[in-house]
């Protein structure tokens, strides 16, 4: 029987970037945008607040984009400060690379196993699906989903009783499956 687990975000991740005012390295995104027009050119930023001093920094979303090249739906979402758009943009690798920032997902996600924490079957097949691009160690997910300590999960991997087509010791942000034989 194939179980499906889902890794879901619970809030926006922390943005890792140096604050010029207090030299903190963490910013909170609250879904606010700033849009500025220069005749027929638009600039748009996602505003983030320093976790220590509260100063505002801007992450560039659009830079000198011609008004007609911006989809009307996107422009409406920017003006409405759509938190869903903020979540989408924080997961866009181009936006992260352009602004030279990284994300910290600690405490911003949860694992939905859809059933009891401790499966009772001898062999369980699990498909792990990611609702967002959240980098997590599969060992941590398996330990949390099965109610086992991480050391026990590591031992099951080394014994060959926990197998997967992907490497379970690194970080993953994409879907994978594994089989656990007790």
E strand segments, 67-181? 102-104, 109-112, 123-130, 162-164, 176-181
Rounded Cα–Cα distance for residues 123 and 101 (Å): 42
- At 45-82, the pLDDT tens digits run 999 999 999 999 999 999 999 999 999 899 999 999 99
Q: Contact at 8 Å (CB) between 169 and 139?
A: yes
Decide which of 134 and 119 is more confident. Answer: 134
Percentage of the residues of the chain whose pLDDT score is greater than 90: 71
Taking each helix axis from N to C end, the angle separating 83-90 and 72-79, rounded to the nearest 10 degrees, works out to 110
Is the pLDDT at 175 greater than 90, yes or no? yes
- Mean pLDDT for the stretch of residues 3-12: 92
**pTM confidence score:** 0.77
* Residue 2, pLDDT score: 80
121 φ/ψ angles, rounded to the nearest 5 degrees: -75, 155
Q: Give the count of beta carbons closer than 10 Å to the beta carbon of residue 138.
A: 21
- At 90-124, the pLDDT tens digits run 989 999 999 999 999 998 899 998 765 555 667 88
């Amino acid at each position: 029987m194939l179980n499906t687990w889902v890794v879901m975000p619970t809030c926006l991740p922390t943005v890792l970037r140096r604050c010029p005012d207090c030299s903190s390295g963490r910013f909170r995104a609250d879904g606010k945008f700033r849009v500025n027009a220069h005749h027929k050119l638009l600039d748009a930023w996602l505003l983030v607040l320093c976790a220590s001093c509260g100063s505002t920094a801007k992450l560039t979303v659009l830079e000198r984009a011609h008004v007609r090249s911006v989809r009307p739906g996107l422009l409406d979402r920017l003006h409405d400060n759509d938190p869903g758009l903020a979540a989408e943009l924080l997961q866009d690798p181009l936006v992260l690379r352009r602004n030279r920032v990284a994300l910290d997902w600690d405490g911003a996600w949860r694992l939905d196993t859809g059933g009891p924490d401790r499966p009772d079957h001898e062999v369980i097949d699990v498909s792990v699906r990611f609702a967002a691009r959240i980098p997590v160690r599969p060992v941590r997910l398996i330990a949390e989903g099965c109610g086992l300590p991480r050391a026990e999960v590591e031992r099951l991997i080394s014994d060959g009783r926990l197998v997967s087509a992907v490497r379970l010791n690194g970080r993953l942000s994409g879907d994978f499956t594994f089989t656990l034989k007790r």
